[in-house]
Structure formats: C-alpha cells, structure tokens
Amino acid sequence: MLYILDEDGFSNVGGFDEIIYLINIKRPKGEFDSDSYKFNVPNQVGFEEYKKFKDIRTEIDLDTISFITVDELSKKGSCELHEFFSKLKHKNAYIYSIVKIKKAFYTFPINYKGTEKNLYMLKGD
C-alpha cells in the first residue's frame, strides 16, 4: 500500500462523472516542462452511476500512516517514476492520495492510467 501526500493535487470530472486525478511534476528545462501522472478515482458503482468525491474520501491522521510526498517522487526521473507506478498497478497494489481540504487531511484510492507530457488543466473556483 502506498500513500502519496500531494500538497497541490488536482482532480477534474471527465465524461460520465469519472474523476480524473493528476500529479504534476515540473521538470528541468528541456523539451518538456512537466510530467502529469494520470490516475482515476474509482467512483463507478453501476451503469452510468457514480459516487461523488466527498463520498469516497476518508479523513486521516497523518501521524498514523507512512507516506511519500510528491517532492520525494519528483527526485525520480520521468521513466523511472512511470515504471514505479506501472509496477504497482501490475502487482494490484493499492495507491492512495492524501490531500488537505480546509484543515483536515483526506485519503482516497487512485488507479494509475499513464503519463502525459505538458498536460495542463485549468483549476476552477
């Protein structure tokens, strides 16, 4: 089981209310500015029936778990991090993201879907 503390996590709703979650890591100057590691939040409960994000997340005390930060993950190279997530997916290992909402921390499951270069999504209000 892997917990990732993401201080700047971003989620968005895709087609059919699917929740997309991105971990964006800036890279040194080169051909690409950033890598976006794309996950989905498993929220489908039936045919075209989906749970809302607030119904999936669970409040957590950071002192009770071991976790890795996005800053620590960013020290791995692009290919190394893609391979790391892919191996976890292949082993059916559970990956959870941790985000801060107001003054509390919440965790929710995420499934790795792949990496895209220079992927930007606009954050709404």
- Is 122 among the domain residues? no
Radius of gyration of the chain (CA): 15
Pairing of β 19-26 and β 44-46: unpaired
The reported pLDDT for the residue numbered 14 is 63
pLDDT at 58: 94
Residue 49: is it exposed, middle or buried by C-beta count within 10 angstroms (0-12/13-18/19+)? exposed
pLDDT at 125: 45
pLDDT tops 60 at residue 70: yes
Q: What is the pTM of this model?
A: 0.83
- Note the pLDDT tens digit of each residue in 83-95: 999 998 878 778 9
Q: In the predicted model, is pLDDT for residue 33 greater than 70? A: yes
Inside any domain, residue 124 = no
Local structure of 33: helix, strand or coil: coil
- Residue 28 belongs to some domain of the structure: yes
| Within a domain: 83 | yes
Total structural domains in the chain?
A: 1
Report if residue 85 sits inside a domain: yes
Within a domain: residue 45?
yes
Distance CA 6, CA 17 (A): 22
Mean pLDDT score of the chain: 84
Above 90 in pLDDT, residue 66? Answer: yes
Helix residue ranges per DSSP H, 1-125: 53-56, 70-73, 78-90
**Digit-coded pLDDT (tens) for 36-50:** 898 988 888 988 888
Predicted pLDDT at 71: 92
Mean pLDDT over 27-40 rounds to: 82
Pairing type for strands 104-117 and 58-60 reads antiparallel
Range of the domain at 50: 2-117
User: Tens digits of per-residue pLDDT, 74-85?
Assistant: 999 888 999 999
Alpha carbon distance 18, 40 (integer Å) = 7
Bigger pLDDT: 10 vs 33:
33
